[in-house]
Amino acid sequence: MIAVSNSSADLCQKENANSISLARISNGSLDRSMTPIKRGRRQSENLSRRNSPRRSRDSRISNGEVTEAVTLFEVISIGKRAIQSVVDDWIEAYQADRDAALLDLINFYIQCSGCQGVVTAELFQNPQNRNIMQKLTEEFDEETGLQFKKFMAYPWILTITWPVNLDTEDYPLIRPGIYWKKFRSNFCEFTAVLIQQCQYSVIYDGYLLNTIISLLLGLSDSCVRAFRHTSTLSAVKLLTALVRVVINLDINIDNSDRLYEVEKKRAELKRINPRLEQLDKKRKKLQQRHREIEDMMDALFKGTFLQRYRDIVSEIRALCIEEIGVWMKMYPHTYLNDSYLKYIGWMLHDKVPEVRLRSLIALQGLYEKRDFVSKMDLFTTRFKDRIISMTLDKDHEVCVQAMRLLVHMLRNCEDLFTTEDCETLYQFVYASHRPLAAAAGEFLYIGHLSAIREPINAEKTENSEHKIGQLKKLLDFFIESNFHEHVTYLVDSLWDCTPIFLKDWPCMTSILLQDAVEKRIGLSAVQENLLVELMLATIRQAVEGHPPMGRGTAKKLLSTKEKKAQLEDRERITEHFAETLPLLLIKFATNPDKLVNLLQIPRYFDIDLYFEAHMEKHLEALLKQMKSIAVSHSEAEVLEACSKTYSSLSNEKQSSPNCQVSLSKKELISHLVDTYSRVLDDVLQEGKEPMTAEDVYLISCTLRRLAAFHNAHNLNQWDLYQKTSALLMFDMPQQSLPAELVQPALQCMYYAILWQLLPIIEDPHTQEELSIYATRVKHFFQLCRKYLGHKYQSVREQAFLSLCDLLMLLHTRGGRMLCCVDSVLESELLSFVRQHVFQAEEEKSKDAVVSETNEDVTLVILHRKRMLLAVYCKLIVSSIVEMSSVAEIYKQYMKTYNDFGDIIKETLGRTRQINRIESAKTLVLCLKQLFLEHKEAHDNATPSSASFTNIKELARRFSLTFGMDHMKCRESIAMMHKQGIEFAFKEPATEDSLPPPNLPFLMLISEFSSKLLRADKRLVFGYLQRFASEQMMLCKGAGWHPLTVYSNTLLDNHDEESSSCGSYFSRDRVIYSTPHHLKRRSICEHVPGRALLYKNACDDQDSHCPSKSKKQNALHPHPLDGAVSMNSGLITIKLKSQNAAVNENNEEVDVDEIETDEVSKMKVQ
């Protein structure tokens, strides 16, 4: 509270004085000189909060004494007391001394703005001095560094002084954290409670609200963001509170008018009626108060909202739009018209997503009420297209809220959307952002699926025509949209708004099971397939509860209620489909597309219910149909689905169903193995006689069934490896068997080896068992290597994939004993990738017309090639194949960037993580091979040809992969330059005047010069001069241009003069930081004929040095700490500390020590 002297208080209460100084707030506290009340004070509440974040929130400790908060700001910011009691205390203080209490309230608003300056208040009521209003300005005092704002808060004149360096980006309303978020909530609540408690008393005294409104309007016009933001928030919240007061006044006025009319009818015969006069006075008083509040509301709207809704600060614009939506919803009589709606419409075009979001949310509160829609016809017509376009906003949340607003508009606005609008919005059900897709699903359900109205008095049954009609419309929509191939995304979009409709599985199965004769609903074959897929998608969604792939990064955490609902749905699914699924399998036994989806339904069953509900006969019928399907079908998708269903049913821990399923599976596998063995024996006995088509078909179908089941089940007890190996050994000499036999046979052998590896990894084993398994693995490797050159592509690819996958698995689990890769195998694998991935890609580019006419086939082929390349790159990344083999892959980076660029780039990054030096060597090797191929094709290394330009672009792409951290890749880049220089001068020139044949290779290495540190550039330049003599450096002509370009990339502008001397000292001496000595030498070396003279002079200068120093310079075996030396085959770099910084201005550098075993084969000429 604020204490004022008695004389000042008397003058304030009498209101006779023209001007009086009441108080001064310094650093957030009030100084009073004549008050007898003593309280513990602290320097600055805001500053103390920053310096002491762990201080007590409900008390202050000063000199060992606990003192309570004494200002409104402290009480509100602490938040320990209820806002109601705080307001009541302030009202009592206001009624006792309104000037002191009002000054305390003014101080509260200033402190909430984060101001730590001085506030001076003067009482001003002399009408003759009204011209002072013209002097209320914002000034700046250059001498004191303070800024002043003087404005009118009638009847107060307030002067706020604050430092110029006030941090306007840090004030309570925008500070992060839960504490300040709660403060903002308390701040808004304080204004609402204050008006609510004062609405029947001091609010109409003509003093309180006039002062507060004047204060807020003055602060909202400030150039300081903190003042403007805080006052705008308080002003709009004050207007919201006044709207509530007006609503109460409207109710009271209406009640008074009713009483007045009733009393008037009763007293028509009486001349004098005191009660009628009292009611009339009360009614007029309420009307007068209503006018006063409306005037205040109008002043706040015009003074605050009209100025701040277009503020430069987006937070201020957002809160203005948010509050005007509240006003329209609370008091539509005044605010719900086009004069106010236009502001929200304009803010739909705001550049900041948060402002657009608040505008949409404000409109949702209006369009969700049908009574409001009739008053918004003009606005709806004007801004409908803009709202529709906002569904494509770059901000996801804006898109979601725009779609939800359109849902409200669709519900309450008749004939608003055209057919084109609906078709556009319906397609959002396939959006990758799930909230947007869910909102679009609700729009689809209301606009398209709910158009069929169920009769009011119709008997509601499970298979009502209404539900069947909805299902048919949903299927037609999916087919006609032709936008997506998977109905799972459509189900996920509709799931939140229509779970009961999508869970009507009895209705779906009744449609599918109805006879063709009694068929009332004409579903086509496409619609039936889609209905089966829809049924499977709804079952999966009900049991798993997770969105499909691409609509969620992680699995959704389910609540207890959701888990209970899932268990109930699973029981319903099991009870219903246990009886109907065998019937569906019987009806669609010849339709593979429907069987693939129907066979997946048992994976979501609760197997225990079969015995708890005594449904064993249904399980037996299901297993019987599955066995019949497995024996009669040979499609890979059907067999895979059947095999996985057997696996899911037998994985249950309950013994009874597990035994029944296992017995059925064993009978099936035994039947298949017996069939295969019988036909195989016949084939082997016939010998060289060709197999009949019937035998080929029978063996092929049986092998495919066995391979599908061997993938998910351990069938080693039937020894399928030996049986399939006998067939392949029979085919090995001539390789005459068709691919339909060889490919599934290889798959069976591969799965058999994997299942045999499992006990070796998990269980103890003997050395004999390991030796037998190693022999079998080696035998399988030999078979796969033989079939890499098979005439059928499917066999070749199956052999390659089996070989690579098994190598990968044995390397990680089996150890080196089982995984042995020699150079011949590496060469065969690389040759296969080069021939079947990249050469086929070149042939495809020559025949581009065919690929355009058959896009689906092209995509399938591309997918298969990407799989082959990815499998091979895994071998390289896992260090199974030598890293140098990847150079052949890198050569295709530019040519096949669109198809394989991501795989190659990922391989490059992984190999660099394994070994940076070896990875750099592979890049140089790749460039060398391309350079030699270019040189051979053009008979010389012409840098101006198109092929050389492509190689140079490839080198540039390689350089970009090193990133911006040059210190991290320092050794790799240095190694690349070293090998590049050695390769460029490897072959001598045919004549003395001609450059070396490989000299253009320096153009390629120059692309990596930008990744060198400045000190390393000098080092590399010195190493270059070991191969390029002074005469070469001075030669001119097109042939010597690569040397000039490369040397320029190694020289900085300010180091060009000292480059030659750096190279001289790097040959035989340690590089020291002697700029003056280098500068003198460089002047001489750039003059032809004076280099030798200067060298002798340097030798003479060294002769005057002490013997200890001379010996160290001449015979140093290792460079000194902090120095770098580069010899013909050795780069030695020593590190002082891991975090040592590189001083690029000096020649001394500190880097990691690296060595290379390559020795220069060229002597310096």
pLDDT digit string (tens) for 505-534?
A: 999 999 998 865 455 567 888 899 999 999
- Nearest to 1004, CA basis, from 904, 928, 944: 928
Three-state DSSP class for 141? strand
Instruction: Supply 1083's token pair.
Output: 């002047």
- Is residue 79 pLDDT above 60, yes or no? yes
Q: How confident is the model at residue 814 (pLDDT cuts 50, 70, 90)?
A: low
Q: How confident is the model at residue 1076 (pLDDT cuts 50, 70, 90)?
A: very low
Place of tokens 């052949």: 888
Instruction: Supply 491's token pair.
Output: 């189900």
The CA distance from 733 to 794, in Å, is 19
Instruction: Supply 109's token pair.
Output: 């608003």
Of 107-116, 163-172, 1110-1119, the range with the lowest mean pLDDT is: 1110-1119
Q: What is the pLDDT of residue 893?
A: 93
Instruction: Supply 148's token pair.
Output: 């002043």
Q: How confident is the model at residue 271 (pLDDT cuts 50, 70, 90)?
A: low
The CA distance from 152 to 294, in Å, is 22
Tell me which of 81 and 1001 has the higher pLDDT.
1001
What is the percentage of the chain residues whose pLDDT exceeds 90?
46
The CA distance from 982 to 986, in Å, is 6
pLDDT digit string (tens) for 436-459?
A: 999 999 999 999 988 654 444 444
The CA distance from 921 to 886, in Å, is 11
Positive or negative CA dihedral for 164, 168, 171, 176?
negative
- Nearest to 1048, CA basis, from 1059, 1032, 1063: 1059
What DSSP string describes 877-931?
Answer: HTTSS-GGGGHHHHTTTTTTHHHHHHHHHHHHHHHHHH-HHHHHHHHHHHHHHHH
Q: What is the pLDDT of residue 405?
A: 96
Q: Chain centroid to CA 272: how far?
A: 80
The CA distance from 471 to 493, in Å, is 15
- Is residue 1165 pLDDT above 50, yes or no? no
- Is residue 1049 pLDDT above 60, yes or no? yes
Contact 985, 1027 (CB under 8 A): yes
CB within 8 Å of 1141: residues ≥ 6 apart: none
pLDDT digit string (tens) for 558-616?
A: 788 888 998 999 999 999 999 999 999 999 999 999 999 999 999 999 888 887 878 88
3-state DSSP helix/strand/coil % of the chain, to nearest 5: 65, 5, 30
Q: How confident is the model at residue 51 (pLDDT cuts 50, 70, 90)?
A: very low
The CA-based angle 756-640-723, given to 5 degrees, is 40
pLDDT digit string (tens) for 730-764?
A: 888 888 888 999 999 999 999 999 998 888 887 77
- Is residue 142 pLDDT above 70, yes or no? no
Query: Can you give the pTM of this predicted structure?
Result: 0.76
Place of tokens 């320029």: 1048
Q: Chain centroid to CA 420: how far?
A: 32
Of 329-343, 821-835, 1125-1139, the range with the lowest mean pLDDT is: 1125-1139
Q: C-alpha distances in angstroms, 684 versus 681, 731, 733?
A: 5, 10, 14
- Is residue 1104 pLDDT above 80, yes or no? no
What mean pLDDT is predicted for residues 164-176? 71
Q: What is the pLDDT of residue 103?
A: 84
